[in-house]
Structure 1
Amino acid sequence: MKTQYLIIGAGPTGLGAAHRLKELGNDDFLILEQNDYAGGLSASFTDDKGFTWDIGGHVVFSHYKYFDTLMDSLLGDERLEHERESWVRSNDTWVPYPFQNNIRHLPKEARWECVKGLLPGNRTEVSPTNFAQWIDSIFGTGIAKHFMTPYNFKVWATPPELMQFNWIGERVSVVDLKKVLKNIILEQDDVAWGPNNTFKFPLKGGTGEIFRRLASRMEDRIQYGQSVVAIDAKSKKATTAEGLEIEYETLLNTAPLDMLASQWLTEKDDTMIDAAGKLTHNSVYVAGVGMDIKNDAERNSRCWMYYPESNSPFYRVTNFHNYSPNNVAKPGQQLGFMCESSFSEHKPEKLNELMDRTIEGLVNTSMMDAARKDDILTTWDIAVDYGYPVPCLERDKALAVLQPTLEAMQIYSRGRFGGWKYEVANMDHSVMQGVEWAERMVLGTPEKTYTLD
């Protein structure tokens, strides 16, 4: 089998690339997908009780006109729009997100610790060299203690000392002492910060519905159940575990970059293997817990909640029933809690115990009454080996070795794990990485979202 463009992975990046190639008049491409469904980490599943679950809390928001137009064409009016309502569970109380702007909700002693850490002279003025130092220098020791440090370890399953901070960008609201004091004294909340303060969500089918519909536009170009095991860059041939061999001219990889560089390439040198070994990632366990609503007290308008403390294994819970009423079997009558926990060599977890610990965590954090555990109608889970690409201290040096070497072989690696840059790994970023790659191939225009510098 021969093709001009071979695309590995039918996730957001691979499908975005294929869609743009078709728009540009090129049908000479093939997508290899190891699963029997499209969507990658943005896929959705419906359990045997009729509850729909995502692989984590995805929301649709965008910086790109092309992406917005594409979503319009895929979903039309079959989507809902929400104002974000997110909270942090800290010190046995709820604090509106961003935490650092709303510490007035904390108990007095914790509130004072946060303010004290921000006072002049209490924050280090030494330039930070890692994420842990950056947290202390920007937020002070109080906010670091009560939220930033424990929460980030729960998310990344990586000590912040082993992470860089250059990825932050618009993902974290930096702190302003004047604003903090003003919000405390005037007893006002500040919740509008962030690029996702409004977001959209499919009416039916979860996030995966977006990519099922996108994949349907090129179904004849997708080979499902095909796991790549070898790529011969010299002869430009890819081989799958199922015995399929494809000759290509140019390859777009959206699978994990470390696997491509250290395992799949038939000819690789020690420099590439060493660089690939410096890339780190966490793994994520997603647990869905569904139950009937017993009384109005169990209803709330929260979208998602963050959990920095040790009385729960999860770092985030999404009220998935609030994203769309159709995410539960009986709309308006049921709750769907979608809970995310991370694990790694730095933060090991016993997966066979995580569902029970998740349910206990829901009780411990006031999300569920202990008496209601026997009323749970359904549980669903999935463990994802590659959850988030960690912005570790050696990441940029590793990418500076891997990406130019691969591009010299006419192999391009993009997407959340193909590009390994968390700062451009949102859904819109991922789709647009594929779109911009296709435009570079056909039109010669430079990529803007993913760059090698």
Structure 2
Amino acid sequence: MKIKYAIIGAGPTGLGAARRLNELGEKSFIVLEKNSYAGGLASSFTDEKGFTWDIGGHVVFSHYEYYDNLLVEILVDEYLEHQRESWVKSGKVWVPYPFQNNIRYLPNQKKWECVRGLLPGERSEEEPANFFEWIINTFGKGIADHFMLPYNFKVWATYPEMMSFSWIGERVSVIDLKTVIKNILLERDQLSWGPNNTFRFPLKGGTGSIYRNLAETLSNHILYNTSVVSVDQKNKIITDSLGNTFEYEFLLSTAPLDILVTKWLEKSPETLINAADMLKHNGVIVVGIGISTSKKDSRCWMYFPDDNSPFYRVTNFHNYSPNNTPVPGQGRALMCEVSYSEHKFVDQNKVVDDVEEGLVTTAMIDDEDRKNIISRWSINVNYGYPIPCLQRDEALKILQPALESMDIYSRGRFGGWKYEVSNMDHSVMQGVEWAERMITGQPETTYRIS
């Protein structure tokens, strides 16, 4: 088969690209998807008991008018709007998110340790060399020890010393001594920080319904159950696991960048293989605990920095939509996320049991709730988060220009490998902007190659 544009992956980026190509009048393109469904890491699943689960705690918010308009078209009025309510479990107390803005909830000793770390002379003013130093320099030792350091290791499964801080942007709320003291003395909460302070969620079918519906509008261009095994970059031919070949002029890959370079490209240059080996990622296991009984709890999601539970985040997924439980509006769907890597071992054979124990330990459920658990669901995602490691930017500076010289464009959460632009809206728009660049020559703005 000969086509002008080949797209690997029917996740948010691949579908965004396909959608925009179609809108711009281009019909010679195809999307190759290894799964039998669209959505990638934004897919949703319904288990045997009727609970709906996402692959992690996705929420829909946007930085882009195009993405907003797309959601209106795809979801029509079939969505709910929420005000974010998220908390941090620190020891035995709950602290509103962001933790660093609301330390007044902590016991006095911990409160003092957090304030002391912010006092003049307590923080280095030198340029930090890594994420660990950035945390200490920005928040002081108290906030670092009680939340930032343990939580970030728990979510990234990577030591902060091994990470850069160039990705921070709007991802982390910074704080100053004056604001901390004012919030404590005036007993004032500061809750509204962040772009996801308000968010939308599909009424039915989980986050994945967005991308299933989008894929349906492009069904003539998507080939499912099509796993790529090689890319002949010289002759511009993709071969799948069944021996089918696809001849292209331009290739957009949304697969993990390291897989593209080290496993698919034919005779990949050693310089590219070495650069790809610099890239790091973690894995995430999502565990869904479905409970038949209801309890009033208005929280959206909770963070768990302490080591008395395996998960770093738990989402009250039943609060996102009443249809996420088997009987709409009844029962609870607790969606828990556990990270792992070579630096953080997780026994995958007993992770569901460990999560259940952790929910008891953290008082998220009690023994009576445990008796009413009717569903234990899990999914293991080998590529969970692209780590902004110290070598990442150097690797991307080598990889991306070299690939583009071959008419191969790698975009998306793991195609681009930039966590700071890998929300769902970012991911869709990476595909949209790539398509516009191909057709109109308009420069990409969301994903930039420096």
> TM-score, normalised on structure 2?
0.99
Task: Establish whether residue 392 from structure 1 lines up as the match of residue 389 from structure 2.
Answer: yes
Q: How does 1:212-231 map to 2 (within 5 A)?
A: 212-231=212-231
Aligned match of 1:207: 207
Separation (CA, whole Å) in 2 of partners of 1:204 and 1:8: 27
Task: Establish whether residue 338 from structure 1 lines up as the match of residue 338 from structure 2.
Answer: no
CA deviation digits over 1:355-401, x for unaligned, max 9? Answer: 00101111111110133212201011000000000000000000000
The structural deviation recorded for 1:44 is 0.1
Task: Establish whether residue 433 from structure 1 lines up as the match of residue 430 from structure 2.
Answer: yes
Separation (CA, whole Å) in 1 of partners of 2:296 and 2:350: 28
Separation (CA, whole Å) in 1 of partners of 2:181 and 2:360: 33
CA deviation digits over 1:117-155, x for unaligned, max 9? Answer: 111111112210000000000000000011000000000
AA in 1 matched with 2:157: A
- Contact kept in structure 2, 1:285 and 1:340, CA below 8 Å: yes
Aligned match of 2:369: 372
SS at the partner of 2:319? helix
**Gaps spanning 5+ residues in structure 1: where?**
none
Aligned match of 2:413: 416
Q: How does 1:283-362 map to 2 (within 5 A)?
A: 283-293=283-293, 298-362=295-359
Aligned match of 1:402: 399
The structural deviation recorded for 1:333 is 1.6
The structural deviation recorded for 1:164 is 0.1
Aligned match of 2:24: 24
AA in 2 matched with 1:398: A
Aligned match of 2:51: 51
Aligned match of 1:282: 282
Separation (CA, whole Å) in 2 of partners of 1:299 and 1:214: 34
Separation (CA, whole Å) in 2 of partners of 1:429 and 1:70: 13
Aligned-residue RMSD, C-alpha: 0.7
Aligned match of 1:178: 178
AA in 1 matched with 2:77: D
SS at the partner of 1:351? coil
Aligned match of 1:99: 99
Q: How does 1:114-193 map to 2 (within 5 A)?
A: 114-193=114-193
Task: Establish whether residue 113 from structure 1 lines up as the match of residue 113 from structure 2.
Answer: yes
AA in 2 matched with 1:216: E
CA deviation digits over 1:69-124, x for unaligned, max 9? Answer: 00000001100000000000002111000000000001111111111111111111
Identical-residue share of aligned pairs (%): 63
Task: Establish whether residue 14 from structure 1 lines up as the match of residue 14 from structure 2.
Answer: yes
Separation (CA, whole Å) in 2 of partners of 1:217 and 1:332: 31
Task: Establish whether residue 448 from structure 1 lines up as the match of residue 437 from structure 2.
Answer: no
Separation (CA, whole Å) in 2 of partners of 1:363 and 1:176: 35
Separation (CA, whole Å) in 1 of partners of 2:293 and 2:137: 44
AA in 1 matched with 2:117: G
- Contact kept in structure 2, 1:91 and 1:107, CA below 8 Å: no
AA in 2 matched with 1:363: V
> TM-score, normalised on structure 1?
0.99
Runs of 4+ aligned structure 1 residues displaced above 2 Å come to none
Separation (CA, whole Å) in 1 of partners of 2:244 and 2:280: 30
Separation (CA, whole Å) in 1 of partners of 2:127 and 2:250: 43
CA deviation digits over 1:292-342, x for unaligned, max 9? Answer: 225xxx311100000000010000000000000100111222100000000
SS at the partner of 1:288? strand
- Contact kept in structure 2, 1:258 and 1:277, CA below 8 Å: yes
**Gaps spanning 5+ residues in structure 2: where?**
none
AA in 1 matched with 2:380: A
Aligned match of 2:36: 36
CA deviation digits over 1:273-310, x for unaligned, max 9? Answer: 0000000000000000011225xxx3111000000000
- Contact kept in structure 2, 1:11 and 1:211, CA below 8 Å: yes
The structural deviation recorded for 1:344 is 0.3
